[in-house]
Amino acid sequence: MAWVAIKYKVLHPQQFGALPCRSATDLAATLVHDIEEAWARGLAASMLTLDVKGAFDAVLQGRLIQRLRSQGWPPTVLRWASSFTQDRTAAIRLDGHQSPTFTVPAGLPQGSPVSPILFMLYIEPIFKIGPALARRGRFGYADDICQLVVSKSLEENTAKLQSIVTDLMAWGHREGLTFDLAKTELQHYDKTRKGNNPTCTIHTLEDTVEISVRTYMGPHAGLESGLTGN
- Measured CA to CA, the distance from residue 168 to residue 166 in angstroms comes to 6
**pLDDT 10s digits, 132-178:** 999 999 999 988 999 999 999 999 999 999 999 999 999 998 988 99
pLDDT (0 to 100) of residue 24: 86
What pLDDT band is residue 230 in, cutting at 50, 70 and 90? very low
- pLDDT of res. 152: 93
Query: What's the chain's average pLDDT?
Result: 88
Query: Looking at 10-125, which runs of residues are DSSP E strands?
Result: 15-16, 44-51, 88-90, 93-94, 97-98, 102-104
In order, the DSSP letters of 180-208 are -GGG-EEEEE-SS--S----EEEE-SS-E
Could you read off the pLDDT of 22-79 as tens digits, one per residue? Answer: 888 899 999 999 999 999 999 999 999 999 998 899 999 999 999 999 999 999 999 9
